[in-house]
Structures are given as structure tokens and as C-alpha cells.
Amino acid sequence: MRRALRLARLGTGRTGPNPMVGAVVVRDGAVVGSGFHIYSRRWHAERVALDAAGPAARDADLYVTLEPCCHHGRTPPCTDAILAAGIRRVFCGMVDPNPLVAGGGIECLRRAGIDVIVAGDPEPFRSLNRGFISRVTRGRPWVTLKAAATLDGRVAPLSGRSRWISGERSRRHAHWLRFRHDAILTGIGTVLADDPLLTCRHKRPREQPPLRLVIDPTLRLSPESRLASTAAEAPVWVYCGPAAPPAAREALAARGVTVIPVTVANDGGLDLAAALRQLADAGVSSVLVEGGSRTLAGFIRAELADEFCFYFAPMILGERSLPLAGDLGALELDGCPRLDIRRVRPLPPDWLFEGFFSFPPGGAPAALPTR
């Protein structure tokens, strides 16, 4: 099963909107076939592994990181291929939370007389597909907040220009984060200050470039910006308020930018939850938020932040600078968001903190529900 997990990870950035899945066929203690899913290659991991095994799959065991599907989509059900191959036992990492499957694949195989064993600890398999699970169970993508800050928690001088607080190794790691997310989101303040491209410059190619998203309530994004100018090369979606100027919409649309109006939330900002629902409906499973203080605060305030990657650089900016998170309201210590730090590692000269958000009782927990 460890081999199946390693194979599944080879699909990073190449399976959306499907989950990452790896599969291994074992007969008499020897691997006779293996595979992983890539969306453009159509076939699911089970079918790739079974095709590789050929006749040797009969009476063999199949190890797969996710429950085999039992419904028709772009491909026939994987359960049909497993039955036709004559597999004896199936070991799967976790039940597929997709309502189209949700235990149906396991039931189908068991009815046909195949032993199906589900892993006792689903966490390694859940962590592989947090985005997919979030989209099919919560109706929104998994949201990761990324920021680079000084040791005193400041992200930019008052001018708003943040290039470069982090070092070269941190910036390379940030492109890995972009590589493994379906979309990259920032606020219009960051765009006006830095004119970023928000592209993924990683050594491994993605099947499709990440969506580039901008929160821009009044449509201040210039049609001449680097984002708008490259919309034909990698898609750019801009979320605006209902009162955004029609002329600005038309100018951006003429450059190939998709403009999406959303409602205004109770705090006066755009309804980020509505934007995330729209992204989920479009098949987007994960979003990397790279905005400034106001954008990060908006996701935290709405309890829509799941994961964080914060780079801390060995410098100090002082109070006349912008904080990592903007206005979160008047919080007491027992009501503030908590950071469950899972890993701290050096990226000299910086330090990277990674983990998950948790919110006080009464709020919507960021953690995925367990089955």
C-alpha cells in the first residue's frame, strides 16, 4: 500500500477534478502491475495497473488508495474491470466520500465474492486528497493561506510592496505550493502593488495551469496588467461586487478575463463562501490564497481557511508596516483562531511553518469531517 501511495503522489497537479489514486497488483508476493491516475490519460489507476498485469491479475490482490468507482463517468466503472480481471482480494485505503460511490464500489465487489479490506487508518489516504474530499463533502475547495512575513509578523512596508521578504528557497517552495493547487487567489491590493503573474514555475509540468483568481470588488484590475495581458495563456477569473462598473467588465472580458459578480457579505466584503461554491461547481478542489493582509483576514474571519504555509524571514519591519492578517474584529484570547502547527522546517535564511486552522466552538471547523 505504501507503493500505491507513492504512485498516487505522482499524479499531483495532473488529476483534477479527479482525486489522486495509485494502484498495485500483487500475485504470489510479487508486483505484476501498477499505475496511477492522470486525467488526460483517461483511465483510472486500477485500470492502468490491471492492464499492466494482464493475465497475471487473475487470482491476484489489488492494492488501491481509494475505493474503486462503481458508476459510469468518462470511463466505465473500475469495479467492472476488477471483476473481469479475476482479482481475488482488494485492499483499499479509504471509502470514497463521493456520493456517486460512497461504499457502493466495495459493496459491488463483495456481492461478487471478492474480499475487500479497508485500511484501519484512513488519514494517509485522506491527506492525499484533502481538496477532492472537501469539494465533494463540503461543496467548496480546500483553502490554504500562504504568506511571507518578518519575525514580527509584518508582510510589507506601508507602500504595500512585498518583494522580496522571503529568500530564494522559500520562493521555490512557494512554486511547489502553486503546482499542487488548482487555483491561486490574491486580492486587488496585491495586484496593484506588485503586478504579479501568479504563474506556476515548477520543474514538473501541470496538466493545466492553475486558475488565477483576483478578489476585486470594484474592478480596479487594469486590462493592461500582466494578469489580464496573459489571460489567453492561463485563465484569469475576477470576482467583483454587483455594483462593479459595466465598462470595466467589458474591458477585462475583451482581454479574455472571466468576470464573476458575487454578493456582498455581512462584513461589507465580497461573499467569499459564494465564490468558493462557484469554484467547487467548476471542479476546483484546492485554492492557494496569496493575498495581502486584508484578503487573508477575510478568509480567516469567514472561517474559510483550512491550512497555512507561513514563511518567516529574519528581519523586522516594525509597526509602520502591514500585518500578516488584517482586521479580524475585536477578539478575546478564547475566541481567536488557533493554528495547529504540524511542521516547522528551515529554508535558510527563512523558517516555514505549516499546519491547519481551527476555530473556536460555535464556528465552522476548518478540519474535514471524519467518516
Question: Whole-angstrom Cα distance, residue 336 to residue 218?
Answer: 30
CA distance linking residue 123 with residue 367, whole number of Å: 12
Helices and strands, counts by H and E, the chain: 12, 16
Task: Give the count of beta carbons closer than 10 Å to the beta carbon of residue 318.
Answer: 9
b/e per residue 250-269 (b: at least 16 CB within 10 A): ebbeebebebeebeeeeeeb
Alpha helices by DSSP H, the chain: 2-9, 45-53, 78-85, 104-111, 123-128, 130-138, 168-180, 188-194, 226-229, 246-254, 272-281, 293-301
Within its chain, how far is the Cα of 337 from the centroid? 21
d(CA 192, CA 4): 44
Cα(81)–Cα(195) distance, rounded to whole angstroms? 50
Active site residue 46: yes
* Distance from C-alpha of 170 to C-alpha of 98, rounded to nearest angstrom: 35
For residue 220, count CB atoms less than 10 angstroms from its CB and return exposed for 0-12, middle for 13-18, buried for 19 or more: middle
Q: Which residues does the annotation mark as catalytic?
A: 46
